[in-house]
Structure 1
């Protein structure tokens, strides 16, 4: 046994090692017991040890979860999406994708998702066993109870430029069958047409339904301080003015965020630029009211 071999492995895994790894490296169980008795190590699950003591970091919790589940397991779902860079969709619980044949004890704060799909083909080339972004997003979206959440996370992954509709469509084909796949293909066609968020897609559909012209989305503007801002939707009105509609999502309900949005809107208003707002909930569930207001403000109708 080489102390460098297990210590190098532990260093690469945020100080976490499994009993199976130690056995492969020739580390005896008596050596492990001595480390535990001396309180240099700590046992974190029935088969995983940390070579440090004290509270576990987030990185250590991730390693504990995948090491506990076995060599084919990997981080998946929104946990994987967050590690790939997805913002505003984080969850406290860790999601781990596991082979359907594996058997192990549960861990508090870890959601083990069993799958018969070929997990190896979905794995990202990183030290931490991690699912690729596209299959992680699609598996989560396919089976989360809320359809709104499912569509929202798919749209967000494209909106935040972490992936593309083409890559997601390619994975949809590879993951057949997948629940909600037809809906996702429709959603991705809408996104490919220029709408990058779910609210933009809802707005386009509402305009088509009520006969309003399609707005320009994500237009660059300079506010009175010279800062570049991006508006959600704009229409050129017949009187020469510009009407801007800002769509507030769920996170805009926070007091600080709402105050920042109002300040931002004021700085974009001019004598020829009118700014109004609505919530994503209204646009999704009460589009009639929003469309009536837009018509009253002069948004042109389609011929």
Structure 2
């Protein structure tokens, strides 16, 4: 093939992959391994692993690195997954520079620097986005990322951020949780997803009262009504003898204008003479002891005679 034509064709192929192409792509276009070696020896192209060819001599960008991991793992079985798939879909504010990729469990590949290759038992029907970079849908990626996270806190944060940044919906996340199998923290992820999808109903005032009883704290009143200048307010739990109110927030309570509504509500309660402790359902799962210790401290101050 004429050199100029070869370079132009290779550049066109690599344009969709941020400047890289696989040997298989190039071979399908008629560019042989000898052609590749010629361009590499001339310093115009650069190899990155066994299968990835950069049709330039610079460093790889973020998207090119992801493509390279897919090429090196085996493009027929691999897909960007977990946090990396979420970042590719637009996730902001979660730092993880490792490229996470999933492959079916019977596929073997050598370790790759800067990459984490996760074996999955099977693919969930419809989980792959095949247009562009092979990757899993945000709902599936979030569930897998939560299983692969180092801590429960990281797992909960990933699930929350995925929905808060509208990469998927709470109900799609719940559907993915029922389908995707993971090896770690299954019960925790199932509970957090319920919290996100169904709000306070998944934990609720009854469970909070049970937690209080387990620590020897007095039984709170539930669904207490207060009449304030802002109107009638239904409190989650309250101890009237201690001027203490606990508001249990679902995951959606800190989104959008819900913050304003919560602030107005809390101000009305405070001005009526009650002290307010806010407890979010995700935090209560992660920091049960710390939140209940705060409740215990609040109850230690009884109403003045």
Same fold at TM > 0.5: yes
Question: Which has the greater radius of gyration?
Answer: 2
- What residue number does 2:68 align with? 64
Q: Match of 1:17, SS?
A: strand
In structure 2, how many angstroms separate the alpha carbons of the residues matched to 1:154 and 1:124? 19
- Cα distance per residue 1:184-239 (max 9 Å; x no partner): 3333333334359xxxx7999657633334527547999xxxxx797599375375
In structure 2, how many angstroms separate the alpha carbons of the residues matched to 1:204 and 1:88? 34
Q: Is 2:105–2:121's contact at 8 Å kept on the other side of the alignment?
A: yes
Structure 1 stretches lacking a partner, 5+ long: 223-227, 249-278
- What residue number does 2:241 align with? none
Q: Is 1:137–1:153's contact at 8 Å kept on the other side of the alignment?
A: yes
The Cα of 1:117 is off from its aligned counterpart by 1.0
In structure 2, how many angstroms separate the alpha carbons of the residues matched to 1:232 and 1:156? 25
Correspondence for 2:140 among 135, 141, 160: 135
Q: 1:286 to 1:29 in 2, by over 3 A?
A: same
Task: Map 1:184-199; keep pairs closer than 5 Å.
Answer: 184-194=189-199
- Which range is displaced more, 157-166 or 279-288? 279-288
- What residue number does 2:292 align with? 288
Q: How many residue pairs end up in the alignment?
A: 262
Correspondence for 1:152 among 151, 157, 161: 157
In structure 1, how many angstroms separate the alpha carbons of the residues matched to 2:14 and 2:88? 21
Q: Match of 1:161, SS?
A: coil
- What residue number does 1:77 align with? 82
Query: TM-score w.r.t. structure 2 length?
Result: 0.69
In structure 1, how many angstroms separate the alpha carbons of the residues matched to 2:105 and 2:192? 30
In structure 2, how many angstroms separate the alpha carbons of the residues matched to 1:49 and 1:119? 31
Structure 2 stretches lacking a partner, 5+ long: 213-219, 221-236, 239-245
Measured on the aligned residues, the alpha-carbon RMSD in Å equals 4.0
Q: Is 1:236–1:242's contact at 8 Å kept on the other side of the alignment?
A: no
In structure 2, how many angstroms separate the alpha carbons of the residues matched to 1:27 and 1:219? 55
- What residue number does 2:16 align with? 12
In structure 2, how many angstroms separate the alpha carbons of the residues matched to 1:133 and 1:117? 17
Q: 1:9 to 1:202 in 2, by over 3 A?
A: farther
In structure 2, how many angstroms separate the alpha carbons of the residues matched to 1:236 and 1:74? 51
**Alignment pair present for 1:105 and 2:110:** yes
**Alignment pair present for 1:23 and 2:27:** yes
Correspondence for 1:54 among 42, 53, 58: 58
In structure 2, how many angstroms separate the alpha carbons of the residues matched to 1:298 and 1:77? 49
